[in-house]
């Protein structure tokens, strides 16, 4: 795979101290199951968009420890030679199941399940979480912004405000999955095929003796699609009139202006009239500058006439809620082929884990709309000919009975015995999958404020296992 990553020491130190202990106690080959899931949706939204799986798979398949890595670990005077030899020979030999990228997902359900020897699985924790937490966070934010734009193009403009190189490059990837039309990040185009585009900065305009000359020179350079930044000096009295003169002087008809400051509601209405009166009815109006889904929605509610949005730091950092609280939790062990569910108990209810090796069914009504996700034990099979009873996650006394429904398993097997067994989709295919799956969610679930709570329930068998483990832990 292109851009393969092998950074084995990008790992919380305790993962190595534990793995060293597993090796020293002869536990390193014991089979375990870990789930990766998140607890809350950022921005108090109704769902997340899952992203980052390709990079996680790439990391797992390429994970190796170099001689330099081993020597560094030896220099810590913490790890046994037996463990260092284990790392020297390291290869992932386990299995991985995951929900396909681009799928809308909900709190508490496993996005990825890893079945592997404990010493292998343990050291995947940090990279798994940083990769999936980041891209899922940015894809989720981008989805909100794209939906607020109501069909208008949204371009990701955030590289310079991203928190590091990976955040810029992979943030652009995540944003594209969720529906952004392109990026300003050139390397994301080279590596992932995300359309890169750009116009000019104010410095271009200021380098010439006049704004008009700057515009003409730019139009001559890029006659097929010139976008002129019109707010360097005076948007209405200078910028837009000079842009119109430049377009006409160079004969350009496929063109746009960009506003990067001011009252966009007022300015875009004025700009549209000026452009139309000049015969440039097809000239697009693009705006940028500290935009997010809330400001975009407010602008459109106020009648702003905008064809596209360039969104930067509020997207690439998910500024309003910049952390997805994904976790990596042991849910089962395996002995002689028997799966033994494990649970973590906490006084904080949301931190009580759901045990066992699991699968997820997405339940659809007869209209094709998703109504619930049902988390089951791995060997359960739903029978759509029988009524399905679901419980509201916020009020266990509130029930919903489904009698005419279809069910689809969400998770697919990605890695088996350390080998890739899943055809990773292209970025375009992931993006198309995301759009298709979003269409199956009710508008009430996609609402920004106080979204309808989507049912995520446990099967009766799984709930009984969880309840028994909780009760037994009190004895």
318-329 pLDDT, tens digit per residue, is 999 999 999 999
Residue 5 pLDDT > 70: no
**Residue 103 pLDDT level (bands cut at 50, 70, 90):** very high
CATH architecture group of domain 13-138+322-473: Alpha-Beta Barrel (3.20)
What is the rounded CA–CA span in Å between residue 105 and residue 454?
10
State both tokens at 250. 């160079």
CA proximity to 437, closest of 18, 47, 3? 47
Residue 229 pLDDT > 60: yes
The conformation of residue 351, written as its DSSP 8-state character, comes to G
* Mean pLDDT (whole number) for 275-288: 97
Q: What backbone torsions phi and psi does residue 145 show, to the nearest 5 degrees?
A: -65, -45
CA 376: distance to chain centroid? 25
State both tokens at 422. 């899943």
Residue 1 pLDDT > 50: no
Per-residue pLDDT at 389: 86
Using an 8 Å Cβ cutoff, are 37 and 109 in contact?
A: yes
What is the rounded CA–CA span in Å between residue 301 and residue 254?
27
State both tokens at 426. 């292209």
Domain ranges of the chain: 13-138+322-473, 199-289
Per-residue pLDDT at 140: 98
Task: Return all residues near 468 (Cβ < 8 A) that are at least 6 apart.
Answer: none
Q: What is the pTM of this model?
A: 0.96
The DSSP line for 3-58 is T----TT-S-HHHHHHHHHHHHTT-TT-EEEEEEEESS-GGG-S-EE---HHHHHH
- Each residue's pLDDT tens digit, 289-308: 999 999 999 999 999 999 99
Task: Return all residues near 186 (Cβ < 8 A) that are at least 6 apart.
Answer: 196
Helix (H) or strand (E) holding 223: none
State both tokens at 119. 């010493």
- Each residue's pLDDT tens digit, 34-72: 999 999 999 999 999 999 999 999 999 999 999 999 999
The owner of tokens 């009190």 is 474
Region of residue 164 (left: phi > 0; alpha: psi -120 to 50; beta: else) = left
Residue 3 pLDDT > 90: no
What is the rounded CA–CA span in Å between residue 415 and residue 92?
10
Exposure on the CB side of residue 417, measured as CA atoms within 13 A: 0
3-state DSSP: the chain helix, strand, coil percent, rounded to 5?
A: 40, 20, 40
* Mean pLDDT (whole number) for 197-223: 97
Q: 3-class DSSP state for residue 70?
A: helix
- Each residue's pLDDT tens digit, 159-185: 999 999 999 999 999 999 999 999 999
The DSSP line for 376-387 is EETT----TTS-
- What CATH fold (topology level) applies to the domain 199-289? TIM Barrel (3.20.20)
**Alpha-carbon distances, residue 61 vs 7, 67, 419, 461 (angstroms):** 12, 19, 7, 34
Per-residue pLDDT at 6: 79
Using an 8 Å Cβ cutoff, are 56 and 128 in contact?
A: yes
Q: What backbone torsions phi and psi does residue 282 show, to the nearest 5 degrees?
A: -95, 0
Using an 8 Å Cβ cutoff, are 274 and 244 in contact?
A: yes
* Mean pLDDT (whole number) for 112-137: 98
Residue 149 pLDDT > 80: yes
Using an 8 Å Cβ cutoff, are 126 and 438 in contact?
A: no
Helix (H) or strand (E) holding 189: helix 186-192
What is the rounded CA–CA span in Å between residue 413 and residue 165?
30
- Each residue's pLDDT tens digit, 243-277: 999 999 999 989 999 999 999 999 999 999 999 99
What is the rounded CA–CA span in Å between residue 231 and residue 276?
19
**Alpha-carbon distances, residue 288 vs 153, 285, 301, 310 (angstroms):** 12, 10, 17, 5
Residue 340 pLDDT > 50: yes
Per-residue pLDDT at 2: 47
Per-residue pLDDT at 395: 55
**Residue 391 pLDDT level (bands cut at 50, 70, 90):** confident
The conformation of residue 342, written as its DSSP 8-state character, comes to -
CA proximity to 33, closest of 118, 127, 130, 124? 118
Taking the chain, what is the end-to-end CA distance rounded to the nearest angstrom? 51
- Each residue's pLDDT tens digit, 393-446: 555 555 788 888 999 999 999 999 999 999 999 999 999 999 999 999 999 999
Per-residue pLDDT at 400: 80
**Could you give the percent of the chain with pLDDT greater than 90?**
91
Q: What backbone torsions phi and psi does residue 326 show, to the nearest 5 degrees?
A: -70, 150
């Amino acid at each position: 795979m292109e851009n393969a990553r092998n950074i084995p020491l990008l790992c919380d130190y305790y993962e190595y101290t534990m793995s060293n202990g597993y090796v020293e106690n002869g536990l390193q080959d014991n089979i375990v199951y870990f789930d990766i899931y998140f607890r809350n949706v950022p921005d108090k939204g109704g769902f997340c968009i899952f992203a980052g799986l390709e990079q996680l798979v790439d990391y797992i398949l390429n994970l190796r420890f170099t001689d330099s890595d081993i020597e560094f670990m030896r220099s810590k005077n913490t790890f046994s030679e037996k463990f260092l030899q284990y790392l020297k020979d390291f290869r992932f030999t386990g299995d991985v199941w995951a929900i396909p990228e681009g799928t809308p997902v909900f709190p508490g359900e496993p996005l990825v399940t890893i079945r592997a020897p404990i010493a292998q699985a343990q050291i995947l924790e940090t990279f798994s979480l940083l990769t999936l937490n980041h891209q899922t966070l940015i894809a989720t934010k981008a989805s909100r912004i794209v939906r607020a734009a109501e069909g208008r193009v949204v371009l990701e403009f955030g590289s310079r405000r991203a928190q590091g190189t990976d955040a810029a490059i992979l943030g652009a990837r995540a944003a594209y999955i969720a529906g952004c039309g392109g990026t300003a990040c050139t390397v994301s185009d080279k590596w992932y095929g995300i359309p890169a585009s750009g116009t000019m900065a104010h410095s271009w305009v200021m380098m010439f003796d006049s704004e008009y000359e700057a515009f003409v020179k730019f139009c001559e350079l890029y006659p097929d699609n010139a976008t002129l930044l019109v707010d360097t000096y005076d948007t209405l009295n200078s910028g837009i009139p000079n842009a119109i003169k430049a377009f006409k002087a160079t004969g350009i008809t496929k063109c746009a202006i960009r506003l990067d400051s001011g009252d966009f509601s007022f300015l875009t209405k004025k700009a549209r009239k000026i452009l139309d009166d000049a015969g440039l009815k097809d000239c697009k109006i693009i705006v940028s500058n500290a935009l997010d889904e809330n400001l975009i929605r407010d602008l459109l509610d106020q009648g702003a006439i905008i064809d596209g949005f360039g969104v930067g730091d509020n997207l690439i950092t998910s500024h309003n809620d910049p952390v997805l609280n994904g976790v990596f939790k042991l849910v089962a062990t395996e002995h002689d082929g028997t799966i033994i569910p494990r649970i973590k108990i906490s006084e904080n209810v949301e931190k009580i884990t759901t045990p066992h090796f699991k699968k997820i069914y997405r339940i659809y009504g007869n209209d094709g709309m998703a109504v619930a996700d049902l988390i089951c034990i791995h060997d359960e099979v739903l029978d759509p000919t029988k009524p399905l009873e679901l419980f509201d996650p916020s009020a266990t006394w509130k029930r919903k009975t489904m009698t005419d429904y279809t069910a689809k398993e969400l998770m697919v097997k990605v890695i088996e015995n350390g080998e890739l067994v899943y055809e990773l989709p292209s970025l375009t295919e992931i993006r198309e999958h995301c759009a298709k799956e979003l269409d199956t969610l009710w508008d009430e679930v996609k609402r920004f404020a106080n979204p309808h709570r989507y049912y995520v329930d446990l099967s009766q068998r799984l709930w009984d296992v969880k309840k028994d483990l909780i009760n037994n832990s009190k004895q």
